Amino acid sequence: MTQLEIELQQLKDEVKNMWGMVRGQLLKALSSLLNFDRDLAREVVVMEKRINATELKIDRDCENIFALYSPVAIDLRFSGSARGVVFGFYCGCDRCAVRDWC
């Protein structure tokens, strides 16, 4: 495997990991609303910081891939798409954190 392939695989793994965190946030937020569970809602807000940090790391990793490896074609499309997908996760996660309710 080339270094670019290794970096892209790590990026894929990070995106999958972030999706798992965001999915968990969605489920916890829904549960906290349905069960009026303030403690669970606070947990969602606290976890949001970790997800924000993950989004920034993935964004930085994409920038490094662009800068260091000059990807072409499919690798370039994947890196660009990963940034967009992660931003969507990030926005969805922000909506899960119901700060006013806590």
In this structure, what are the phi and psi dihedrals at residue 6, rounded to the nearest 5 degrees? -65, -45
- For the chain, what's the residue count? 102
**pLDDT value of residue 90:** 66
**pLDDT value of residue 95:** 60
pLDDT digit string, tens, across residues 31-64: 998 999 999 989 988 888 898 899 889 888 988 8
**Residue 78 near residue 44, CB atoms below 8 Å:** no
- Domain of residue 97, CATH code: 1.20.58.220
6 pLDDT tier (thresholds 50, 70, 90): very high
3-state helix, strand, coil in the chain (%, to 5): 90, 0, 10
Q: Domain of residue 91: give its range.
A: 3-101
Domain count of the fold of the chain: 1
Look at residues 52, 58, 72 and name the one whose alpha carbon lies nearest to residue 11.
Answer: 58
Query: 99 is written with which tokens?
Result: 């700060």
User: Rounded CA gap, 19 and 100, in Å?
Assistant: 25
pLDDT digit string, tens, across residues 65-102: 878 877 777 777 777 778 777 777 766 666 655 554 44
